Structure 1
């Protein structure tokens, strides 16, 4: 089998293999051996379901069986030497974290001498239950190694994540259990929490962007809100690629801005420039918190379906349309069953299901599930979902005063709860349309999620549970911790109880 592999714009190679392996990890190993690559990699393939645009490969069965064209993104983020290594990968993309917090967490290997000590102490524990009281230097080495491994995934791990790591540590090395402790890991949890604080301080002093932005205020100065990842972003504020400066990246931004203005812009060049300028763009968006209009003026290429999906992948390491639509389809039948059980008590849900009865296509079922979700979560979407006829005056009136929303342009003077004749779907931010001509309502919702991540915009306050369910339950991003209301819905979806 012949593979067409893109490593960079100027580095495209042919790789011949006997047959496709059974897993993505095996394919990565094969490509690393053939192309002499080292480090973490993300494999993308041309997805025929999305006009052959590149999507992250998560399952080998997703690959077409003929004419395979793959794109490789190398992305390393290592802290083994105690300094921040932000060397860029061969694809030209900004380096950064490429994986979410693992479940279960894998405890790293320690230095040779410590591994020997732990092995012997674990054997003694198996024989007679004797515990190991590590010396200060051994404990420091263990905490340092585990803390750095945690930092590779998240600079600000949640208490639950720290607890899980402490449990994993004593499960792998039971000799480290604490005498007199029921769980055996209680003190390790606090030690790891302190270690993470020390590491953050160390890297903050070294100049790590995602930490220096949260430096403490001096006495008498106003304390500003914490600017850190809150929605499972793994590259919330990445460092600049090695050898790049704000000035050099600003030059690329200007080149990018000029390319977008051309009648026939080079899409591949735009993709490359957007990837390389990611760190500069995030710095501006997170630190300065500009208006959407200002971002659109400086980064016009970002405001397209293609680039929003790419930016979302950089931030979250997930495919935007796939994670949204596949997650929605997975829960769709059960979600509509839950709506059905409540329709007698909620006239809005009743109207949606009544409209769905007349045209029960999968696209309408998706739309009904999304439109009904706020009502099911007991929230009011009246200033979020907007309907209007296809006239300039109607559109202007509909978007006026809407901070975050989706506009549905119909050919009906009085649209039904589930409109049939949709002329356009658009995204509203700060009282103006920022992206339109989206294919359908589910695509509009997916693109809106991507924009909110890309521009670091908070979810609408009146719909916090609706968006939490979309992110953590439907898209399965950062779902380890949920509010009681979102967790209740997830249990009903998974357990099959109304």
Structure 2
């Protein structure tokens, strides 16, 4: 019988491949808190003088031409993070602006912010319209034009496609010199390349290159998982799932997952009750033993770091083994039995048959669905 206490997680480090074309994709998520850009020297001098006047007399700055220049700079910075800022993001921009330049507070509005919120919202609408009129392609804007919509949705405010939370590169443009046709040829070559052995580098390069093409399919066509897997089989591997997550969000999936796992352990697990909680309790009890100081942790230098790393691994192993019950998944979908030679279990002792549980690569895919 397989015991969850004897589970061992396998953390294989996959080299991070740079995004194919940094010029065509965003490299960072929305900053918290929002950082104002450095305005031109003339603007900074004018606003500094206006701040001094505001501190002395309480008089607000009302120069329309200067405010217009400020809005233009803000629109460029906002678009570098997202084409469709949320209300919360717009509020953070307004707060940063009036915090640095109190003279810009809007008289008569709550905290002097509401007027700027409306200005920024209208400016971003006009900024997107201006970009649409240019000869350059901005797919995340063009996808919402009336000619691209279904006849039944041909209303400006209906069925607007925009990034969800954490999506940074929602619908990036194709790399320079590439089109949907040339990237389709790359996709067909990719299907052939995945049949070869020891071909990870070529596959990673082609997956980076065809990223914009996949996003067009996902956003425009919303294909089923089966159809998408048939067209992009290379995506359904552990390495490329992690890379695709990074391409879309600019953050590492595994590092983020492990950091949050440490943050919410063990409080998150102890909140589970009922039958699932009873099944997890023996594993959770092992966490207390793991956290107790031992003689091995009293050393210094490299030995101390190594022992602390092992302790962290043990803690993570116990918590990940709890996930099978916490998420309500079937045990056989997450674990499989094996008898590797010379592999000592991390948690507990070997079972009746000396079997260990090793997390399958499909664990990552199942966790993503939650």
Query: Normalising by structure 2, what TM-score?
Result: 0.75
TM-aligned CA distance change 1:225 to 1:449, over 3 Å: farther
Give, in angstroms, the shift of residue 174 of structure 1: 1.3
CA RMSD after TM alignment: 3.2
**Does residue 67 of structure 2 align to residue 149 of structure 1?**
no
Work out which of the residue numbers 250, 253, 257 in structure 2 matches 1:320.
253
Is the contact made by 1:205 and 1:212 (CA closer than 8 Å) also made in structure 2? no
C-alpha separation in 1, matches of 2:81 and 2:324: 31
Work out which of the residue numbers 265, 272, 284 in structure 1 matches 2:217.
284
**Match in the other structure for 1:113:** 42
TM-aligned CA distance change 1:355 to 1:106, over 3 Å: closer
TM-aligned CA distance change 1:271 to 1:120, over 3 Å: same
Q: Please, which runs of 5 or more residues in structure 1 have no aligned partner?
A: 1-48, 56-70, 76-87, 375-380, 389-406, 412-419, 426-438, 451-458, 460-466, 468-498
Give, in angstroms, the shift of residue 220 of structure 1: 10
**Match in the other structure for 2:180:** 246
Q: How many residues align?
A: 314
Give, in angstroms, the shift of residue 170 of structure 1: 0.8
**Match in the other structure for 2:348:** none
C-alpha separation in 2, matches of 1:164 and 1:142: 16
**Does residue 151 of structure 2 align to residue 221 of structure 1?**
yes
Give, in angstroms, the shift of residue 152 of structure 1: 1.0
**Match in the other structure for 2:264:** 331
State the Cα deviation string for residues 392-444 of structure 1 (Å, max 9, x = none).
xxxxxxxxxxxxxxx24667xxxxxxxx99x999xxxxxxxxxxxxx517x64
Matches within 5 A, 1:60-79: 73=18
Give, in angstroms, the shift of residue 172 of structure 1: 1.2
Is the contact made by 1:108 and 1:146 (CA closer than 8 Å) also made in structure 2? yes
**Match in the other structure for 1:446:** 364
C-alpha separation in 2, matches of 1:311 and 1:357: 36
**Match in the other structure for 1:364:** 318
**Does residue 131 of structure 2 align to residue 197 of structure 1?**
no
Shift >6 Å, 4+ stretches: 217-220
C-alpha separation in 1, matches of 2:149 and 2:176: 35
**Match in the other structure for 1:40:** none
Give, in angstroms, the shift of residue 234 of structure 1: 0.2
Work out which of the residue numbers 162, 166, 171 in structure 2 matches 1:232.
166
C-alpha separation in 1, matches of 2:72 and 2:173: 22
Give, in angstroms, the shift of residue 338 of structure 1: 3.2
Is the contact made by 1:209 and 1:239 (CA closer than 8 Å) also made in structure 2? yes
Give, in angstroms, the shift of residue 370 of structure 1: 6.0
SS in 2 for 1:225: coil
**Does residue 94 of structure 2 align to residue 169 of structure 1?**
no
Question: Which stretch shifts more, 215-224 or 297-306?
Answer: 215-224
Give, in angstroms, the shift of residue 364 of structure 1: 3.0
C-alpha separation in 1, matches of 2:177 and 2:147: 31
Work out which of the residue numbers 326, 330, 334 in structure 2 matches 1:386.
330
Give, in angstroms, the shift of residue 306 of structure 1: 0.8
**Match in the other structure for 1:98:** 27
Give, in angstroms, the shift of residue 163 of structure 1: 0.8
By percentage of residues, which structure has more helix?
A: 2
Query: Normalising by structure 1, what TM-score?
Result: 0.57
C-alpha separation in 1, matches of 2:47 and 2:41: 10
**Does residue 53 of structure 2 align to residue 53 of structure 1?**
no
By percentage of residues, which structure has more strand?
A: 1
Q: Please, which runs of 5 or more residues in structure 2 have no aligned partner?
A: 1-9, 290-313, 338-350
Give the structure, 1 or 2, with the largest relative contact order (CA under 8 Å, sep 6 or more).
Answer: 2
TM-aligned CA distance change 1:355 to 1:220, over 3 Å: closer
Is the contact made by 2:19 and 2:208 (CA closer than 8 Å) also made in structure 1? no
Is the contact made by 2:336 and 2:359 (CA closer than 8 Å) also made in structure 1? no
Is the contact made by 1:234 and 1:315 (CA closer than 8 Å) also made in structure 2? yes
Question: Which stretch shifts more, 292-301 or 147-156?
Answer: 292-301
